[in-house]
Amino acid sequence: MDEERRGGQVLYSVRMRAAQGGPHERGGRHVSGAERIVTEERLHRTVRALLERARRHARGDPDFVQVTVERVPAGAVARIAALPVVTLGTGAPDEARRVARALLEAAGVAPVAAREAVALLAAGPGPAGTAMRGAVLMDAATGERLEPDRGRGVRVTRVDYDPAARRRLEAALRRRGLRGEAVRRAREALALASKAAWVGALAELGWSDDPGYTTGYVAAPAIGYVRLPGIKEAGDCRGGRVLFLAAGETVRVDGGLAGLIGRLEEAPVLIAAVGRVGPAVPPEEFLEGLRVGDA
Ligand code: WAQ
Ligand code: MG
């Protein structure tokens, strides 16, 4: 530890979760959650920022907030590249959801599973249409749900940017016109999606459960991180994330489904490189580009 400290190599995983009506495991309603991996120098201000964020959240005023700090050996942290980013010119839920299904199919998800995932997020994927705290895991071939706990889902945690990559990404997002909250949301969703892709997810679909944020995304190694404005109406509190697994392969290798869930939740990852952040593209043009790339 002393040696790690002298080299400036001690890192901390900081995780926050907040709920209303008691802790999540006692039936509290999920309000917010966030993850960071930071140096010791940034530890205190990160804890403070996550606490502030939990307490000023559009989904409500939490009466339970937990902030967990864990030291992680720097040598155990994988350094990966973020997926490239593009924004499509979608505007309304019907169109954005149709484009989401087409993107998922281009990434190798079966049409039945792509349709099921969109319908699930539209209805609220948790019990009785509530928000989950984590993601749905879905068999990309059949649409079958694979996560062990349908209320909680699987949380992709212990992922963050190194400070230089984070600055470069934020500057690139701003150059493409993102402002304020959108920069943070896109940055965090890109981190999650890039880690999930690195762990082995075939594709991902997500949009916020927060009523004011209406841009969602589809991400996959094959197509990048594709932003879809207007995927839900403002005021709608339904949303979530679906990670698609090539389940036939997944359950056979490296500890199977449990091993994959363990890596999604626990393997520490720092994003050290940022890819291209492209200008807005009309949806049909982007989909056509994928078909050409296929041929
Ligand atoms: N791991 C897995 N699932 C998660 C995690 C996580 N760490 N965090 C949130 N979720 C799930 C959970 O079911 C939430 O209810 C749902 O996702 C939505 O979370 O580029 O803000 O934080 O502008 O509300 C997309 C950004 C924003 C698009 C998504 O999600 C863009 C967003 P939220
Ligand atoms: Mg939310």
Q: What secondary structure does DSSP assign to 179-209, as a single string? A: -THHHHHHHHHHHHHHHHHHHT-SEEEEE-S
Closest ligand 1 atom, CA of 207? Answer: 29
Characterize the bridge pairing of strands 136-139 and 240-245. Answer: parallel
The reported pLDDT for the residue numbered 252 is 59
Distance 208 CA to ligand 1 centre (A): 5
Looking at the predicted structure, is the pLDDT value of residue 4 above 80? no
Does the beta carbon of 28 lie inside 6 Å of ligand 1? no
Q: Which tens digits make up the pLDDT trace of 162-180? A: 999 999 999 999 999 999 9
Task: Tell me the average pLDDT across 104-108.
Answer: 97
The reported pLDDT for the residue numbered 169 is 98
Q: Return the minimum-mean-pLDDT range out of 6-20, 25-39, 186-200, 259-273.
A: 6-20
- 41/266 Cα distance (integer angstroms): 23
The reported pLDDT for the residue numbered 294 is 67
The reported pLDDT for the residue numbered 248 is 75
Task: Tell me the average pLDDT across 213-227.
Answer: 97
By percentage, how much of the chain surpasses pLDDT 70? 94
Characterize the bridge pairing of strands 78-81 and 269-273. Answer: parallel
Looking at the predicted structure, is the pLDDT value of residue 266 above 50? yes
Q: Which tens digits make up the pLDDT trace of 72-103? A: 988 899 999 999 999 999 999 999 999 999 99
Find the ligand nearest to 132 CA.
1
What are the two backbone dihedrals, phi and then psi, of residue 127, each rounded to the nearest 5 degrees? -55, 135
Distance 6 CA to ligand 2 centre (A): 38
The reported pLDDT for the residue numbered 289 is 95
Distance 216 CA to ligand 1 centre (A): 9
- How many residues belong to the chain? 295
Please identify every residue whose CB atom is under 5 Å from ligand 2, which is an ion.
209-210
Residues near 17 by beta carbon (within 8 Å), at least 6 away in sequence: 24, 30, 32, 33, 65, 66, 133
Residue-wise burial string across 9-34, b where 16 or more C-beta atoms lie within 10 A, e elsewhere: ebbbbbbbbbbeeeebeeebbbbbbb
Confidence band of 292 (pLDDT split at 50, 70, 90): confident
Q: What is the CA radius of gyration of the chain?
A: 18
